Amino acid sequence: MNDVAEVVTPTSYLTLHYRLAGEDGMDFISTFGGKPSTLQMGLGQLAPTLEDCLLGLPCDAHKKFMLPPEKAFGAHNPQFVQRIGRADLPPNSATELHGTIEIASPHGQKIAGRVIDLDDDTVLLDFNHPLAGRTVCFEVHLIGVM
């Protein structure tokens, strides 16, 4: 029997429940109450700052981390808010307030913007991460660590 508890390393495979919630306790995403997630550290399946919270935790740990914007998804950047003409949007784009529109960047990668305002001719899109500028609670229960 191995007396050393498995702890999370930068390349660990994990089975876990996790939750991201706002300061008000409102869930953005949660696997609690459903099937746990499996992931490998270091592959970008979680944001690097969230992975950093997991490093060194032993199997069966249940922790909550309050992360200010700079430790979570960064500050809200006003330069990532752009007004785009409706004629310049991809065909069949659903332009609903608070909806999401995916467009190609100048470099060809697809990026999603959240519709925050619209009029007859334009759409105001916010390309910041939806949790940018917000303090979040990251709760985790590690079920398995390999």
Into how many domains does the chain fold? 2
H-helix or E-strand spanning residue 49: helix 48-54
Tell me: do 66 and 96 sit in the same domain.
no
In a domain, 3, yes or no: no
88, β-bridge pairs? none
Whether 89 maps to a domain, the answer reads yes
Range(s) of the domain holding residue 92: 78-126
Mean pLDDT of 97-115: 89
In a domain, 4, yes or no: no
Q: Are residues 141 and 106 in the same domain?
A: no
Spatial contact of 116 and 126, defined as CB atoms under 8 Å apart: yes
Q: Sorting pLDDT into bands at 50, 70 and 90, what band is 114?
A: very high
1 part of a folded domain: no
In a domain, 108, yes or no: yes
Share of the chain above pLDDT 90, in %: 77
State phi, psi for 100 to the nearest 5 degrees.
-120, 140
Helix (H, G, I), strand (E, B) or coil at 125: strand
pLDDT, tens digit (0-9, with 9 covering 90-100), for 6-44? 999 999 999 999 999 998 889 999 999 999 999 999 999
**What pLDDT digit, counting tens, does each position of 74-100 carry?**
999 999 999 999 998 888 787 889 899
Two structure tokens written together for 120: 């007859």
- Asked if residue 117 and residue 84 are part of one domain, the reply reads yes
Q: Which tokens in the block code for residue 70?
A: 């700079």
Between 107 and 115, whose confidence is greater? 115
CATH of the domain at 34: 3.10.50.40
- The whole-angstrom separation of Cα 118 and Cα 1 is 63
| Per-residue confidence (pLDDT) for residue 5, from 0 to 100 | 60
Residue 61 belongs to a domain: yes
46 and 34 share a domain? Answer: yes
Pair 17, 65 in one domain? yes
